[in-house]
Amino acid sequence: MIPEKKIVLTVSEVADILNICKPYAYNLFAEPDFPGMKIGNRYLVRKDKFFSWMENHLKEDADNETEKGKSQETASRA
Protein backbone atom coordinates (compact mmCIF):
# COMPACT_ATOMS: atom_id res chain seq x y z
CA MET A 1 0.00 0.00 0.00
CA ILE A 2 1.35 3.41 -0.95
CA PRO A 3 0.89 6.20 1.57
CA GLU A 4 -1.46 8.92 0.30
CA LYS A 5 1.01 11.72 1.07
CA LYS A 6 3.81 10.11 -0.96
CA ILE A 7 4.69 12.17 -4.05
CA VAL A 8 7.05 9.86 -5.96
CA LEU A 9 7.20 6.13 -6.59
CA THR A 10 10.28 3.94 -6.77
CA VAL A 11 11.00 1.16 -9.25
CA SER A 12 9.95 -1.40 -6.64
CA GLU A 13 6.63 0.36 -6.06
CA VAL A 14 5.95 0.61 -9.80
CA ALA A 15 6.72 -3.11 -10.13
CA ASP A 16 4.37 -3.91 -7.25
CA ILE A 17 1.53 -1.79 -8.62
CA LEU A 18 1.81 -3.32 -12.09
CA ASN A 19 2.54 -6.80 -10.73
CA ILE A 20 5.71 -7.07 -12.83
CA CYS A 21 9.32 -7.90 -12.01
CA LYS A 22 11.80 -5.14 -11.16
CA PRO A 23 13.91 -5.61 -14.31
CA TYR A 24 10.81 -5.02 -16.45
CA ALA A 25 9.96 -1.95 -14.35
CA TYR A 26 13.45 -0.60 -15.07
CA ASN A 27 12.72 -1.13 -18.78
CA LEU A 28 9.62 1.05 -18.42
CA PHE A 29 11.79 3.88 -17.12
CA ALA A 30 13.79 3.66 -20.37
CA GLU A 31 10.67 4.08 -22.53
CA PRO A 32 10.41 7.55 -24.10
CA ASP A 33 6.76 8.03 -23.12
CA PHE A 34 7.22 6.91 -19.51
CA PRO A 35 7.27 9.92 -17.15
CA GLY A 36 10.07 8.60 -14.94
CA MET A 37 13.32 10.34 -14.07
CA LYS A 38 16.73 9.40 -12.77
CA ILE A 39 18.04 11.34 -9.80
CA GLY A 40 21.53 10.25 -8.89
CA ASN A 41 21.35 6.48 -9.06
CA ARG A 42 17.63 6.28 -8.25
CA TYR A 43 14.76 6.01 -10.69
CA LEU A 44 11.60 7.79 -9.60
CA VAL A 45 8.28 8.78 -11.09
CA ARG A 46 5.77 11.27 -9.76
CA LYS A 47 2.77 9.34 -8.51
CA ASP A 48 0.23 11.52 -10.36
CA LYS A 49 2.16 11.28 -13.65
CA PHE A 50 2.51 7.51 -13.27
CA PHE A 51 -1.21 6.96 -12.78
CA SER A 52 -2.02 9.27 -15.71
CA TRP A 53 0.43 7.31 -17.87
CA MET A 54 -1.16 4.06 -16.73
CA GLU A 55 -4.70 5.30 -17.48
CA ASN A 56 -3.62 6.43 -20.96
CA HIS A 57 -2.12 3.01 -21.69
CA LEU A 58 -5.21 1.22 -20.43
CA LYS A 59 -7.36 3.41 -22.67
CA GLU A 60 -5.06 2.80 -25.66
CA ASP A 61 -5.17 -0.95 -25.05
CA ALA A 62 -8.97 -0.90 -24.85
CA ASP A 63 -9.18 1.18 -28.04
CA ASN A 64 -6.80 -1.21 -29.82
CA GLU A 65 -8.86 -4.22 -28.73
CA THR A 66 -12.02 -2.54 -30.02
CA GLU A 67 -10.38 -1.83 -33.39
CA LYS A 68 -8.99 -5.37 -33.53
CA GLY A 69 -12.46 -6.78 -32.89
CA LYS A 70 -13.98 -4.63 -35.61
CA SER A 71 -11.29 -5.71 -38.10
CA GLN A 72 -11.82 -9.38 -37.29
CA GLU A 73 -15.59 -8.98 -37.59
CA THR A 74 -15.23 -7.31 -40.99
CA ALA A 75 -12.81 -9.99 -42.18
CA SER A 76 -15.13 -12.81 -41.11
CA ARG A 77 -17.99 -11.28 -43.10
CA ALA A 78 -15.92 -11.24 -46.30
Separation CA 25–CA 17 (nearest Å): 10
Q: Structural domain of residue 38, as residue ranges?
A: 8-77
Tell me if residue 21 falls in helix, strand or coil: coil
pLDDT of residue 15: 97
Note whether residue 3 is domain-resident.
Answer: no
Note whether residue 70 is domain-resident.
Answer: yes
Q: Amino acid identity of 73?
A: E
The pTM of the full predicted model, rounded to 2 decimals, is: 0.74
CATH number at residue 25: 1.10.10
Note whether residue 2 is domain-resident.
Answer: no
> pLDDT tens digit string along 7-60?
999 999 999 999 999 999 999 999 999 999 999 999 999 999 999 999 998 887
pLDDT of residue 71: 60
14 close to 28: Cβ distance less than 8 angstroms: yes
